Structure 1
């Protein structure tokens, strides 16, 4: 009499469930031992029952098998990570090559006037790149102008200090006389120096 097909779902009757567990567990352990002997395979099998009882089978010691498994799994993960890194690098290289091609076409377009040689997408990419470059150029220009303004402000401060120093020297040298008389009595060279420092 042939056995019927067993449905793969949880057995509700606890007695039938325990009997099935014991039979199938012993069958699984027997098959694992046979596979180990027939094929010279290293096998490790761990089973926990519903009550938490441990059943295990290890052909060459469970600790050695677990260490071998961990080492193999780690190598597999590292190999997978290396493959992903290589794939990402290749994708990045291809993307950069495409960008270089588009930029070279853009340069040819700008210098040779070959408008018919570029597609609409390539022209858009070139336009975006030009906008980015213009932004960087403007930023650099603004930085340089800000530095020059700061240098001019510093120079202005130095000239004002020198002018003030000269005025104090003139006051000390000629005394507290009327300004019109002072200007008339000041030598020509000092007047020119004062005018230079005021600018």
Structure 2
């Protein structure tokens, strides 16, 4: 059967109580040492017996160092709690002030918008008018400043575009001039080449009328190495003309 649940209560027998204290104290110190070694934790243990005898255990760091660290942590926690409490108290005091201030600001906004003007006196209305006039002047001044800056930027862009346009126009004119000079050069070369080809063509033989004919002496002029044929530009003799007409 399993072990039953033991009810924790004070041991009435003094001897048994002392024996249990010794055993449990040794086990507690052993467990403290084990947790400090296994978990690399700083452990400080303080036990007082019923007779007021002190039993303590601390890790490699001294007991005083652990206690100082504990005191600093406790003071920081206490200060944090105190600060939170004070901040909550100050917030509770500041809340009504902030609400009243928000209501004043909302009322002023409505007045600037031309609403809820009935409760205002003549002096308050004049002051409100002066404030609106001053604000309107500031708004106009800022608007004019932004407008001037925008105009200056547009002028700079316009100047940059004009410079770019002039550069493109200059390049186009240079390209047109280059193309015109190239065309003239090609036309001149074409004319010179045509003239050269005409000079290089062989001359056509001269046309003779009547083909081969006999000379007065009956000798043939058509033979190779004989007399040359009369030029077509020379006048025909009368006797030849007479035969041609017949």
The normalised TM-score by structure 2 is 0.40
Which structure has the larger Rg?
2
Q: TM-score, normalised by structure 1?
A: 0.48
